Structure formats: C-alpha cells, structure tokens
C-alpha cells in the first residue's frame, strides 16, 4: 500500500512538473508569436516603402524605352 501511495505521489509530482513546463512553453510560444507579428509588420512596411520608388523608376524606364522604340521605328521607316 505504501508503494502505491509513493507511485501516486511521484505521478502527482511529475504532472505538476510537466504542467510548469507546459506553462513555460506556452509563454514562449506567445512571445514568439508576438515577435513574428512585429517582424511581419516591419517587413511589410519596408516592402511598401521600397516598392513605391521602384515602381516610379520602372514607369520612367518604360516610358523612355517606348520613346526610343518609336525613334528607332521612324528611323527604320525613313531608311526604307
């Protein structure tokens, strides 16, 4: 009977220890989720800031390219 009580006490101690471990892990998960959210927000903000000037430059280059193509086509037509 004493051995059974000892086993029950050991089981209770183990459960209490595992419960503490789970609480600690739960806290770590919440902290990591928060860090992940902050990182995502930072990345999306920087991406948006970088995308604007790049799009402007792409439009400018596209416009310049179209103008050059028109010039080339006119020159080509003049040679014919």
Residue 64 Cα distances to 53, 58, 67, angstroms: 17, 10, 5
For residue 64, the surrounding DSSP H or E stretch is helix 2-79
Q: Where are the domains of the chain?
A: 27-80
User: What average pLDDT does range 6-30 have in this prediction?
Assistant: 94
Distance, in Å, from the CA atom of 63 to the CA atom of 53, rounded to the nearest integer, reads 15
pTM attached to this predicted model: 0.57
User: pLDDT of 21-62, one tens digit each?
Assistant: 999 999 999 999 999 999 999 999 999 899 988 999 999 999
């Amino acid at each position: 009977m004493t051995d059974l009580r000892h086993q029950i006490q050991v089981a209770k101690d183990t459960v209490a220890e595992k419960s503490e471990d789970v609480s600690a892990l739960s806290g770590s998960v919440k902290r990591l989720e928060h860090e992940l959210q902050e990182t995502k927000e930072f990345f999306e903000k920087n991406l948006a800031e970088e995308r604007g000037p790049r799009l402007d430059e792409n439009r400018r280059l596209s416009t310049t390219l179209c103008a050059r193509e028109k010039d080339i086509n006119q020159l080509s037509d003049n040679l014919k």
